Amino acid sequence: MKITVATTGLKVAPFLVIGSGIAGLYTALKLAEIAEVTLVTKETLKESNTTYAQGGVAVALSASDSPDLHYIDTIKAGAGLCLPAAVDVLVNEGPERVKELLAMGVPFDTEAGALVTTREAAHSRPRVLHADGDATGREISKTLVKLVQTNPQITVMENHYAVALLTGAEGCYGVLTLDENQNQTCLLAQATILATGGCGQLYLNTTNPEVATGDGVALAFHAGAPVADLEFVQFHPTALRLPDTPCFLITEAVRGEGGILRNAHEDRFMPSYHHQAELAPRDVVARSVLLEMLKTGNDHVYLDLSLLGPELIKHRFPNIYETCLSYGLDITKAPIPVAPAAHYMMGGVATDLYGRTGVPHLFACGEVANSGVHGANRLASNSLLDGLVFGHRILTYLQTHQLSFNQLPAELEATFSAETNPAQVTADRLTLQQLASTELGIIRQENGLCQAQHYLTATDLKQVPTLTPDYLELQNLRLFAQLLVTAACARQESRGSHYRLDYPDPNPAWTKRIIQSPQGTSTIPVEQPFTWRW
């Protein structure tokens, strides 16, 4: 659906940031050093994927580590699809960005004045910093939110849902929003930055909060920006699985500290799947857990913490300990029932190494963006670092490139999906989640992908819908699923988090990336960065 909005009386601000996870908060703070910033978020500043991140931030700071080693680990985990130049930027600029967080007051854990690091899956060194044991994201978010709220250069607009980007002859001019009273507001800016996070809510079981509905990918795609690698969705191997209990992340750091995965027969199984056992790449562990569940006919396996001891568990993982205890499970005495859950999307809005998208004046960073840094499988705890590094790169670009519009059109276009019956939002969302969980999950095959494609091409719009966040979120989830299934059908191999029963092995011919835009689907070589001529 396409509508036009008038620009009469509207002012063009310098910078507009959409999203309030680590990427949005940090980028807003950095941009505020050079001009005024408007930060828009669909709920409150505190509600984001970042807040729920437990493990930490991977960064090479210790004497026994180096950016080169971090680079090698990231490339290996990415299963041949990482853009080397992007990984080089991540690992070499990451240390300075984390030092900035320390200077901002983020309370990373220390012992005797030294930063404490832990090891997670597929890391060759302990390099993951954490805060309050297993509450790293929450502590980072608290610190950045406070700084944003007290910064006079930043105007915060909470409970403003981004309906569509506003586009015209010179690219992206800003965004159309809905507030909690369904009032529409047009916000214009010389540079618009998407930092809207992921799309975990496409699945029944996810570690993501309710806000993770793929809004940024939909916003950018409708505005004409290409997206990349959407077939690659990372499932975390260990989310709490108890009856009538919300999905709750059990950080990979538990396995890094010595946690052991056992099946329903209490047998340790990971050594039979991979030589790194519990510390194998995340896609391998998630798939192995699922296979053990299918073999034993159970909906979970167990994470055995007996080697850690009660004191280490309570000290290192206080959040997990207290949460499980609130559900009647004492993890110092009993193993944790766990199962995989949708966690992170490697794919996203295609960006260059400075966050620029295929639409002039539109940038993206964090989970919504795809610079090529994660490849087919993100290395554990690289996500928070990604938001910092490429958020700062947007600042670097805007410091040296003065963006402006030659003229403001009298009208701008706003494009968004409207395919389903607005009276069936709740039922349609559940049906979509069930379909995605069954056919677009950890293990895929042609028949299921075709069924999903058939369902997603059907529309049921009998009336012009009243725009509400619930309705628009469903449309965004559907669009994300449509793009995902197209890419998953095209990639006739198994690689990283994309595993197909009918094509169970990697195919060298598919060492390339799938790009989708409103004009169609194409591929590019892995080593080729995105280049946009603005």
Burial 217-237 (b: 16+ CB within 10 A, else e): bbbbbbbbbbbbbbbbbbbbb
Is 97 marked active-site? Answer: no
Alpha-carbon span 197 to 384, nearest angstrom: 11
Element (H, E) at 314: helix 310-316
Can you tell me whether residue 383 is helix, strand or coil? helix
Alpha-carbon span 278 to 294, nearest angstrom: 19
Q: Which residues lie closer than 8 Å to 65 by C-beta, 6 or more apart?
A: 125, 126, 127
Q: Are 504 and 287 in contact (CB under 8 A)?
A: no
Query: For 405, left (φ over 0), alpha (ψ -120 to 50), or beta?
Result: beta
Residues 119, 241, 255, 282: which is the catalytic one? 282
Give the count of alpha carbons within 13 A of 205, CB side only.
25
CA angle 188, 189, 190 (to 5 degrees): 140
Give the count of alpha carbons within 13 A of 383, CB side only.
27
Alpha-carbon span 417 to 217, nearest angstrom: 12
Q: What is the largest CA-CA distance in the chain?
A: 69
Alpha-carbon span 293 to 393, nearest angstrom: 43
Can you tell me whether residue 136 is helix, strand or coil? helix
Residue (of 21, 346, 3, 365) closest to 165 by Cα position: 3
Alpha-carbon span 82 to 98, nearest angstrom: 22
- Residue 516 pairs in a beta bridge with 227, 521
- Residue 337 pairs in a beta bridge with 302
Q: Are 191 and 398 in contact (CB under 8 A)?
A: yes
Cα-based torsion angle of the residue sequence 276, 277, 280, 286 in order, rounded to the nearest 10 degrees? 170
Alpha-carbon span 525 to 137, nearest angstrom: 34
Alpha-carbon span 480 to 202, nearest angstrom: 8
Catalytic residues: 282
